[in-house]
Amino acid sequence: MRNTLILTGASLLLRILAMGFQILLSRWIGAAGIGLYELLMSAYGLAAAVAVSGVRLSTTRLVLELPLQKGWARGNVMLLCLGYSLLLGVGAAALLWMGSDLAAQKWLDAPALGRCLRTLAFSLPCMAVSACVGGCFSALRHGGRTAVLQVSEFLFHAGMTALLFFRQTPHSPEAACLLLCKSALCSEVFSAVLGSVFFRAERLERRGGISLSAAPDLLAIAVPDAVGSWIRSGLVTAKHMLIPKGLRKTGIDAMGALAAYGVIQGMTLPVLTFPSILLGTVSGLLIPEIAERNARGELARLRSILRQVLHLTLLFSFFAAAALAVWGGALGQRLYRSAEAGRYIRLLAPLTPLMYLDTAVDGMLKGLGLQTASMRINILDAALSLLLVWQLIPRRGVGGYLIILYFSETLNFLLSYRRLFRHAGLKVELYRSVLAPVLSVCAAVLTPFLLAPTLAKSHPLLSFFAAGGGYFALLRLFGSVTGRELRYFRRLFQKEP
């Protein structure tokens, strides 16, 4: 709970700062510039997937499991993981450097972005080291250090970006992307250096140097995750590159296609995922917690953790979906000065419960050692999405892209939950976790508009908090939140005698 609160606080601060930063960027470079930058990041994401292939997950699990199972010193485990991460990071940087011009010309249809990709190549070894150190801190439950690293990196990145933009006003979207890439490189170097300083302060026990005897254990965890990440990232990159091209086939010009892509990918989706800060933190912390319970054979406790997290995820996600559906239009207008962004937020709001559930279930599967199953599901999802983008967007335009988002998230969640159910026997309590919360959130959100419609419309923040209070009261009334659960959470904040 302590680590959850620390990391949630840090994530909340980061999301708020990132949202403000994204709003400023949208005003500096426009929707087309945001679209071009998102397209560039999708290509860079493929190289980043190679650089951090299985690094964080394998580090977290090995630091937890090898000392328990084989008596290894944690310092030796970390030396092995750091060597693996550096090997991947340097290899990915070399591949991106050599293929930058080809990728910019053939994939992105923007030869000027080749220089951006070469700039980003230098950040990949630093990213790999940061992922390894982050995996170690996750295993040791050092949420404070992870939070400091995350906040420090973002503040450095935002400050460097602002400095570069104030010193040099970009004359085109391509020039703006180059400035953003330079600031991203500086922030990755800063994060790796600061993370290394924190890691050295751990003074982990070490007996001798690097031993390759644990390499099979590392590869058994990292390779399935890595291969899945490579294939999925390749498919996702291809999908994102086809979206603007497909939109142009509907009659939209190049800048209009980039603008439409930027509104959905760079404006709408960040708002939809913003409420999932807590769930993303819990999902990351679930991996070492579940891995340790699973290694110790504490199956009853393990099922209890999984069931409770799934229940709380559903309660939270239903309210988030209703709030975005009701207030999403005003939110898009207030944040981005874009009625189009607000419309897409409302259209995609019903998708948020599946998005949040998929995040939680993915963390559960990885903690149980089912990363291979998760890999297969993600690859299938990406492949089918790519096929739909190729066939549907040229015919249906932006509407086709929204259909694909719904299909992708639904398929991914259903397959992931089916795998979790078969392995852990985990079931959703339909009344307590689904029916009662849905009825409660509908009543809570609609009540302010029925009782005081003028006040609710003129003071959206007040009506939001009133709906939240009403939702909690109805959950207590219907038994979705019990007194026993509240006492349990209260005890989490009390010191043990």
Which pLDDT does position 93 carry in this prediction? Answer: 93
CB 366 within 8 A of CB 322: no
- pLDDT value of residue 496: 46
Q: In which residue ranges of the chain is pLDDT below 50?
A: 495-497
What count of Cα atoms within 13 Å lies in the side-chain half-sphere of residue 25?
26
Answer whether residue 150 is part of any domain.
yes
Q: Which residues contact 284 (CB under 8 A, 6 or more apart)?
A: 7, 138, 363
CA distance 367 to 358: 14
Q: Is residue 445 part of a domain?
A: no
Query: Tokens 């500086």 map to which residue?
Result: 186
Helix (H, G, I), strand (E, B) or coil at 459: coil
Positive or negative CA dihedral for 75, 290, 48, 162? negative
pLDDT for 497 equals 41
Structurally, the chain folds into a number of domains equal to: 1
> Which residues contact residue 356 at a Cβ distance below 8 angstroms, ignoring those fewer than 6 apart?
275, 276, 279, 313, 316, 317, 320
Does 467 map to a domain? no
Report yes or no on 42 lying in a domain: yes
pLDDT (tens digit, 9 = 90+) per residue, 346-360? 999 999 888 888 878
Q: Kindly state whether residue 436 falls inside one of the protein's structural domains.
A: no
- CA 490, chain centre distance (Å): 29
pLDDT at residue 201, rounded to an integer: 76
d(CA 408, CA 276): 18
Assigned domain for 20 exists: yes
Q: How many CB atoms lie within 10 A of CB 472?
A: 16
Q: What is the pTM of this model?
A: 0.66
Residue 462 domain flag = no
Query: Which domain, by its residues, includes 143?
Result: 2-428
The reply to whether 414 falls in a domain is yes
Are the C-beta atoms of residues 332 and 268 closer than 8 Å to each other? yes
pLDDT at 94: 93
- Residue 192 tokens read as 């790796």
Tell me the Cα Rg of the chain: 23
